Amino acid sequence: MAVPTTLIQPSKPRRVPTAVLISGRGSNMEALLAASRDPAFPAEITLVLSNNPGAPGLASAAKQGIEAMAIDHRPFGRDREAHERALQEVLVAHGIQLVCLAGYMRVLTPWLVGRWEGRMLNIHPALLPKFPGLHTHERALEAGEGQHGCTVHLVTAGVDEGPILGQASVPVLAGDTPATLGARVLAREHELYPAMLARSAQAILDGQ
């Protein structure tokens, strides 16, 4: 008798369990959550984590029924890795396969980065390799750039240095302030990040 192979093949997960790490406002997290509400989106945001118990994004995620948790970095003092071990425990316990940093304002140690090689994304508000680090909009204006934008990249041990997955640019307009330019960039961030997460998650589902 023929073996019913379709019945004994393990079913592949349909969506990639994904965590978003935030430290504050969480508007990129909101954009990722909105995208992941579509059941056809290849990543499912199942966890939002923060180092900051007061991060407004935590309350908003919880209100939307997403597990949202803070692991305050302060009790760990200078021991960054001990804080990251606590984060890692929660990520593993939730079966997370992809991590999106979205305004997560802690520099990660090589220990945590090494555990998520190729599986941790970050969004940076500049066209890397230009303007790594902070105050990117001020610096782009000071430098007289005609174009500015945002980058989604894989996280490596060097801050804002990992392989670039995608970028979106905006024009710098006469009379721009860091606030007006930043708002223009942020609108593009909210489109770029879900698109790049979708691509990374789909690659995992496809076994690449």
**Which residues of the chain form contacts with ligand GRF (CB under 6 A)?**
22, 24-28, 102-103, 123-125, 150, 186, 189
Q: 52: annotated binding-site residue?
A: no
Which CB sits closer to ligand GRF, 168 or 204? 168
DSSP the chain: ----HHHHSPPPPSSEEEEEEESS--HHHHHHHHHHTSTTSSEEEEEEEES-TT-HHHHHHHHTT-EEEE--SGGGTT-HHHHHHHHHHHHHHTT--EEEESS--SPPPHHHHHHTTTTEEEEESS-TTSS-SS-HHHHHHHTT-SEEEEEEEE--SSTT-SPEEEEEEEEPPTT--HHHHHHHHHHHHHHHHHHHHHHHHHHHHTT-
- What's the rounded Cα separation, in Å, for the pair 135 and 137? 6
Smallest distance from ligand GRF to CB 207, Å: 30
Catalytic residue (choose from 124, 148, 153, 190): 124
- Annotated active-site residue 137? The verdict is no
Smallest distance from ligand GRF to CB 6, Å: 43
Which CB sits closer to ligand GRF, 87 or 127? 127
Which CB sits closer to ligand GRF, 6 or 185? 185
At residue 57, φ and ψ (nearest 5 deg) are: -65, -25
| Radius of gyration, CA atoms only, the chain | 18
Residue with nearest beta carbon to ligand GRF: 103
Q: 27: annotated binding-site residue?
A: yes
- What's the rounded Cα separation, in Å, for the pair 120 and 15? 16
Q: 122: annotated binding-site residue?
A: yes
Which CB sits closer to ligand GRF, 85 or 106? 106
Smallest distance from ligand GRF to CB 136, Å: 8
Smallest distance from ligand GRF to CB 93, Å: 25
- Residues that constitute the known binding site: 26-28, 80, 122
Active-site positions?
124
- Residues that constitute the known binding site for (6R)-10-formyltetrahydrofolate: 80, 122
